Chain A
Amino acid sequence: EAQVTQNPRYLITVTGKKLTVTCSQNMNHEYMSWYRQDPGLGLRQIYYSMNVEVTDKGDVPEGYKVSRKEKRNFPLILESPSPNQTSLYFCASSFREMNTEAFFGQGTRLTVV
């Protein structure tokens, strides 16, 4: 089954404790992105990757890191989480063609206290 798998689904952590949210896709997509969803703001892109070892900042990259060592994996790293990073996070992947839809992971609801 074609899918994007994100883990964990829920995470409660304390300020400053490093965490990683994993993302894996099995569709051989070139593009992968991370978004955060906040009420009234829709989804905003954090980081994206066009291919292995190619990553770049999206609209709200502060406080986040990513890596793309393999085509299928695109982990999101919060080195020192803060309460303003409490949000719903989505990983997404797609082919490079503009007319192809993005597939989303199940979402990770992160709470930083």
Chain B
Amino acid sequence: AQKITQTQPGMFVQEKEAVTLDCTYDTSDPSYGLFWYKQPSSGEMIFLIYQGSYDQQNATEGRYSLNFQKARKSANLVISASQLGDSAMYFCASRGNSNTGKLIFGQGTTLQVKP
């Protein structure tokens, strides 16, 4: 069974600074995908970034990058140059090669950006 662990319930960061949100995963699937989603206070789930287990390079999408360390089973999200609009809850999720389309989510990390 897959499991995602996010150990930081809440974090603060100063505007314009970088912040790392931690995510560790546990899976027995030989191949899998790792996702990060953002949930602002309005409630919707916004896809941010994807990393495949066989990808050689760390994924990047604008100010978001994923620090993927396969041996450590970690997939930390790095947000550079934080903005006030980055204040939200962030979820790490994994998807294995089952036929369910199922995403396994962590508990989430609430990020607050201070002006």
Contacts and interface: CB of A to CB of B under 8 A. Distances in A.
Interface of A: 30-33, 35, 40-45, 48, 50, 56, 58, 88, 90, 92, 94, 96, 98-99, 101-104, 106-107, 109
Nearest to A104: B45
Nearest to B36: A101
A45 B106 CA distance: 12
Looking at chain B's contact residues, is the secondary structure mostly helix, strand, loop, or mixed? loop
Contact of B107 (A33, A42, A90, A96): A42
Interface of B: 4, 31-33, 35, 37, 43-45, 47, 50, 52, 91, 93, 95-97, 99-103, 105-108
Contacts, number: 70
Nearest to B32: A98
Contact of B100 (A35, A43, A48, A104): A48
Contact of A43 (B91, B96, B101): B91
B44 A98 contact: no
A107 B35 contact: no
Nearest to B1: A59
Contacts of A90: 45
Contacts of B101: 30-33, 48, 50, 94, 96, 102
Contact of B102 (A41, A45, A88, A99): A45
Contacts of A98: 31-33, 52, 95-97
